[in-house]
């Protein structure tokens, strides 16, 4: 039986985790080469009662575009009997999909390797190479800001209460000197995530991570938020109370999808 928790996890996985695969395809030379010149579409979906939920990618000359919802006649499709099974698959668990596209093994392999690249987001994955550390931090920052917005849009009561009492505010997360940044905009209960630095107004809270290497133990939950601040891994500009509350929601989301 599908639960609201299953559906919430699916929403975040499809709309916050899956989209960052595009970053992998752009930033990792081997993956970019793998998709060079490709024109195809990919769908991942799960049956929820009599309907399907899902998302996917359209690839045009090697450039990926994330698509929310159900694609018509995709080249490769992974189908699951329930949102819970799809969630297990997307979080590194065991769940076998029905696969459309077995007659296109080379294309199927490309999309499988792209999905496998997202396992770098798992909390037990500790990359060693500097470029992999930077990639993980970039994907996590992009993912978590989008996930926070989706968590709010899904109607979590605590977050709706928290966002509902706020005027127009920017919550910025950045990692320097790598220049990785993303933000969450909150206004009267509504939320929107974006990548890069928000430049039209100063952030209400700015969580500054001190290098990707120091950000790694923070995102691996090896240090508590307060300890990370005391060690200089994170600097918070703005309200520490609101920064801590946002960190609490980040921890909830991580628990939901891992």
**C-beta pairs of 1-7 under 8 Å, 24+ apart in sequence:** 2/48, 2/49, 2/82, 2/83, 2/84, 3/84, 5/256, 6/82, 6/83, 6/84, 6/87, 7/48, 7/53, 7/83
CA angle 243, 245, 249 (to 5 degrees): 115
* pLDDT exceeds 90 at position 210: yes
Domains of the chain in start order, with CATH, are 4-121 (3.30.1050.10), 130-257 (3.30.1050.10)
Please write the tens of the pLDDT for every residue from 148-195: 999 999 999 999 999 999 999 999 999 999 999 999 999 999 999 999
What does pLDDT average to over the chain? 95
Identify any residues that bridge with 35 across adjacent strands, giving them in sequence order.
none
User: Would you say residue 123 has pLDDT above 90?
Assistant: no
């Amino acid at each position: 039986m599908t639960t609201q928790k299953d559906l919430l996890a699916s929403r975040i996985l499809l709309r916050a985790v899956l989209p960052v695969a595009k970053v992998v395809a752009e930033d990792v030379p081997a993956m970019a080469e793998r998709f060079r010149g490709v024109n195809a579409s990919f769908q991942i979906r799960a049956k929820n009662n009599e309907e399907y939920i899902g998302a996917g990618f359209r690839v045009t000359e090697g450039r990926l575009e994330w698509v929310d919802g159900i694609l018509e006649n995709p080249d490769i499709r992974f189908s699951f009997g329930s949102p819970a099974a799809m969630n297990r698959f997307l979080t590194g668990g065991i769940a076998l999909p029905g696969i459309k596209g077995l007659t296109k093994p080379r294309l199927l392999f490309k999309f499988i390797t792209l999905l496998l690249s997202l396992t770098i987001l798992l909390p037990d994955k500790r990359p060693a190479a500097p470029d992999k550390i930077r990639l993980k931090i970039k994907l996590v920052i992009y993912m978590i800001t989008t996930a926070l917005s989706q968590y709010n849009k899904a109607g979590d009561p605590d977050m709706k209460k928290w966002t509902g009492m706020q005027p127009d505010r920017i919550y910025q997360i950045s990692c320097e000197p790598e220049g990785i940044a993303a933000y969450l905009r909150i206004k009267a209960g509504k939320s929107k995530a974006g990548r890069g630095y928000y430049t039209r107004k100063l952030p209400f809270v700015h969580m500054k991570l001190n290098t990707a290497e120091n950000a790694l133990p923070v995102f691996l939950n090896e240090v508590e938020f307060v300890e990370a601040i005391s060690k200089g891994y994170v600097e918070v500009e703005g309200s520490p109370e609101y920064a801590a509350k946002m960190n609490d929601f980040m921890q909830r989301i991580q628990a939901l999808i891992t």
